[in-house]
Structure 1
Amino acid sequence: MIKIYAPASIGNVGVGFDILGAAITPIDGTLLGDCISIQSSDTFQLKCHGSFSDNLPTDIKKNITWKAWRWFNNYTNKKIPISIKLEKNMPIGSGLGSSASSIVASVLAFNQFYKTQLTKTELIKLMGSLEGDISGGIHYDNVAPCYLGGLQLITGDKNYVTQKLPIFKNWLWIIAWPGITLSTSVARNILPLHYKKDICIQNSRNLSTFIHALHTKQSELAIRFMKDTLAEPYRIPLIPKFLHIKRSIMKLGALTCNISGSGPTLFSICLNISIANKVKKWLEKNFLTNNKGFVYICKIDQLGARKMRLQQ
């Protein structure tokens, strides 16, 4: 049996709309990400388990894992019966790279099972293509960090699709999902088709300064320029009381408050565990809308997707 885990991710990371993404892992050891287990079988099977499996499509042919399996089955032309188990531990439509997590875990598991030996570039391009099949356009800001770990810059280069960026190890990332979903297509369609020149210039300034600050180890400078001028201003109405939440947790000592991906998950950065715990408790009390929602204190997951040890 092969079992692969693929972590949650924060798309955009505030300042990098569609070109920055970071893999995250809760510091309490929670596996916030999907797992795929596969083994040979007499008949084809795809079984879905996990806290959020009830939200998956009932039509198996609409399941991301089935689409990934079909691709490998066609690629290898091997009609091998297979048993697949998807542990859906990620809420769909949360802004935490739920689809990317399933895609990455599936692709890596099938690549091992079928012994296709695809290169990293081939794998990530396949992941992006499968992601695009869902969202309507190929993008890598979730699949790249989910697969490779760390903070990734999506270059779009044909040979080097993504590049890993340095990050501050003392940053604690608080992520809060309120318990409701937000359609990625809705969040993208609300954005303007055209932007004014000064907004584009400001976005370029913010992004370039942020990346420069990472490489030169200027934490405060990086925080000051972690501002989204392209998406967040237009998505604020989609997240109730967003500005009130932002003001409130920054009064507690949080350095940032941004939308993770297309939302509704929010993320914040703190410098010490005391402040992080205060922010976590405030968000649990004031942001969660039901008992499905959660708040985690996280760090950057530098490992990305990985093979899990099988229980005996």
Structure 2
Amino acid sequence: MNNSVRVFAPASVANVAVGFDILGFALDSPGDEITVSFSDRESGGLKITAIHGADNKLPLVVEKNTAGFAAQQLLRHLGKEDLAIDMEIHKKMPFGSGLGSSAASAAAGVMAVNALLDHPLSKEEILHFAVLGEQIADGAYHADNVAPSLLGGMILIRNNEDLDVHQLPIPDDLYAAVVHPEVEVLTKDARDVLSDKICLKQSIEQGGNLAAFILGLMKADYDLLSRSLKDVIIEPQRAKLIPQFYEVKNAAISASALGCSISGAGPSIFALCKGLETAQKVGAAMEKAFTQAQIENQLYISKINQHGAVVIE
């Protein structure tokens, strides 16, 4: 076994417009890094020794921390919860961004401990424990951020309860432009604005868009992807929570994005694009729309990250 392991887990975009709570994909950056190491402490168990870059917003208590709890549950499952292990968390992505910050921490935490113990379980087998960690943050057992962050790729979640998750094929030239504005959207508020009723016409249209989007990925049909990336249920309800949303979306579409929508619960906005040059052009247009409204923002350009969480040292 290693004496120390450092793991990076990437940010993720959930929902992907047409797949509310059932689609998500991983980015190359930003992301979180976590280091775990065996300790010579007399007292056993997992201990979070330091959290960097979080402005004292995250708890050091293992049971209240997404990374700590996920790792602890894995150790308990393996019958190794008495091992003295120290964990150091490096938060390198914004909170409440709609980019799966807590999920990245959970994925990195469970991946790091699994690697420290010389990989007794596969990534697929540790997904459950990462989801348990994410559940600490939002109270729900769902994998639309955790699964992409841990496993990589574009993930379809057929069923959250059973973690029936599947990686979808990714066209070679598919890129994402993601802009995170410096505004706050609470996940609770983003959930509260949603109606629990939809009309039959909306259900049919959204179902057709989801099916066609998956087919577009499989066939690398960018025109079909573009026609399909239209959310007729969730986006219209949440758009009002994000200042300049439609201005940013229109700027992305005008710059040749395949489609543009809200990342997770927001406030980040993502656009899928064909080719790096187009993604850069689209990202610049989205940035400009926010900047003209005097809203600070950060731009991330990325292919779909197909590796997910990785050991970096």
The alignment status of 1:40 with 2:38, answered yes or no, reads yes
- Residue deviations 1:87-144, cap 9 Å, x none? 1011111011111100001011122334572344431122222222322221111111
Question: 1:235/1:78 Cα in 2 relative to 1: closer, same or farther (>3 Å)?
Answer: closer
Tell me how far 1:66 sits from its aligned partner: 2.5
On the 8 A contact 2:48/2:68 being kept in 1, the answer is no
What letter matches 1:188 in structure 2? R
Alignment partners' CA distance in 2, 1:234 and 1:128 = 27
Q: 2:304 aligns with which of 300, 304, 309?
A: 300
- Residue deviations 1:192-237, cap 9 Å, x none? 0111111111111111111122223321012111111221010010
Tell me how far 1:273 sits from its aligned partner: 3.7
Q: Which TM-score applies when normalising by structure 2?
A: 0.88
The within-5 A match list for 1:77-156 is: 77-114=80-117, 117-156=120-159
Tell me how far 1:71 sits from its aligned partner: 2.2
On the 8 A contact 1:166/1:214 being kept in 2, the answer is yes
Tell me how far 1:277 sits from its aligned partner: 2.8
Q: 2:222 aligns with which of 200, 219, 222?
A: 219
Tell me how far 1:246 sits from its aligned partner: 1.5
Q: Which TM-score applies when normalising by structure 1?
A: 0.88
What letter matches 2:302 in structure 1? C
Q: Percent identity?
A: 36
The corresponding residue for 2:73 is: 71
Q: 3-state SS of the aligned residue for 2:259?
A: coil
The corresponding residue for 1:57 is: 58
Question: 1:45/1:131 Cα in 2 relative to 1: closer, same or farther (>3 Å)?
Answer: closer
Tell me how far 1:59 sits from its aligned partner: 5.5
On the 8 A contact 2:259/2:272 being kept in 1, the answer is yes
The corresponding residue for 2:26 is: 23
- Residue deviations 1:34-69, cap 9 Å, x none? 11111122344421113xx11633453422222224
On the 8 A contact 1:36/1:84 being kept in 2, the answer is yes
Alignment partners' CA distance in 1, 2:123 and 2:161 = 12
Alignment partners' CA distance in 1, 2:202 and 2:141 = 25
Runs of 4+ residues deviating >4 angstroms: 157-160, 288-291
Give the aligned length. Answer: 301
Q: 3-state SS of the aligned residue for 1:213?
A: helix
Q: 1:186 aligns with which of 186, 189, 196?
A: 189
The root-mean-square deviation of aligned C-alpha atoms, in Å, is: 2.2
The within-5 A match list for 1:128-277 is: 128-156=131-159, 161-277=164-280
Alignment partners' CA distance in 2, 1:55 and 1:197 = 47
Tell me how far 1:171 sits from its aligned partner: 2.0
On the 8 A contact 1:64/1:102 being kept in 2, the answer is yes
Q: 3-state SS of the aligned residue for 1:195?
A: coil
Any unmatched runs of 5+ in structure 2? 42-46
The corresponding residue for 1:8 is: 11
Instruction: Tell me which moved more, 174-183 or 7-16.
Output: 174-183
Alignment partners' CA distance in 1, 2:210 and 2:40 = 52
Any unmatched runs of 5+ in structure 1? 26-30
On the 8 A contact 1:17/1:228 being kept in 2, the answer is no
What letter matches 1:223 in structure 2? S
Instruction: Tell me which moved more, 257-266 or 57-66.
Output: 57-66
Question: 1:55/1:39 Cα in 2 relative to 1: closer, same or farther (>3 Å)?
Answer: same
